[in-house]
Amino acid sequence: MTTAFLFPGQGSQSVGMGAGLADAFASAREVFAEVDEALGQHLFKLMREGPEDQLTLTENAQPALMAVSVATARVLKREFDVDVAAASFVAGHSLGEYSALCAAGAIPLAETARLLKTRGQAMQKAVPVGKGAMASLIGPKTDLALAEAAAAAGAEVGVCVVANDNNAGNIVISGEKAAVDRAIEKAKELGARAIPLNVSAPFHCPLMQPAADRMAEALAGVTIAAPTPPVVANVTARPETEPEAIRRLLVEQVTGRVRWRESVAWMAGEGGVGRFVEIGAGKVLTGMAKRIAPEVESLSLNTPEELEAFARG
């Protein structure tokens, strides 16, 4: 069966994530130790014990989520002889794209951890607290056309764009607070529910340009190899293996839309994927994949028991 591995993004973090893997497998402990050393902080202790408000900080959540995903991939390979390289594609949601690239051999683990620490700090600093906002548009009437119309209404008073096209019924808008508030009103008029998100900054919108500039600097000094398998990029929703294109897309991703619905639909359609496997913390992407491509098997691997069952199956 053709498989694509999916790597979760921010919001999937929780205190205790990765602890079961670390307790069961030396290969997972190696990953967490290497990330701690690369960052010069006790990140795994924070992941295991909290406090939650510290783990949720963007600069901590991003490398932490990557560490759990890469630890899961390493355990799969080392303990169960299941290699990400044998899959058809990898894809990650926002920061998860870095996890995917690391697991596919494109960027070394320590470098990936440092890049995500920088990315988290840069995204946090790009917009003063309170100036930006994000909102989730949900419900059966919510589709991309509705979200675009709501964002256009918001854009009449400030920056407002569609940030995450997750799946039909779940689309996120981002921008200046007054503009997002106007977009929320419009979305409700059009029949969607709109929920303001408790986020520290307006991600994936033009206000993040300072963070994109910072990531361009950081990525310029990084050697990127061709990933095996190809990564389906957030910005294009198509597979990519060329290192310089990947570098450019990672910069564009900071201000650009996460085209997740299109990415999963492409993999399930033209890509011929018959199974989506989410590896890392939580099950958010598994739920999205089931809604986007219900005909394709979708599952998540979090625990030692799930990894063993997957390897046997």
Point out the residues that are catalytic.
94, 204
Contact 265, 241 (CB under 8 A): no
**What's the one-letter identity of residue 306?**
E
Residue 120 and residue 60: Cα distance in Å, rounded? 7
Q: What are phi and psi of 26, to 5 degrees?
A: -60, -35
| End-to-end Cα distance, the chain | 11
Residue 290 and residue 207: Cα distance in Å, rounded? 32
Residue 13 and residue 154: Cα distance in Å, rounded? 30
Residue 255 and residue 110: Cα distance in Å, rounded? 24
Cβ atoms within 10 A of the Cβ of 305, count? 11
Place of tokens 């607070």: 177
Residue 71 and residue 84: Cα distance in Å, rounded? 12
Would you call 141 helix, strand, or coil by DSSP?
Answer: coil
By the 10 Å C-beta count (0-12 exposed, 13-18 middle, 19+ buried), 189 is classed as exposed
DSSP, residue by residue, 226-286: PPSS-EE-TTTSSEE--HHHHHHHHHHHHHS-B-HHHHHHHHHTTT---EEEEESS-SHHH
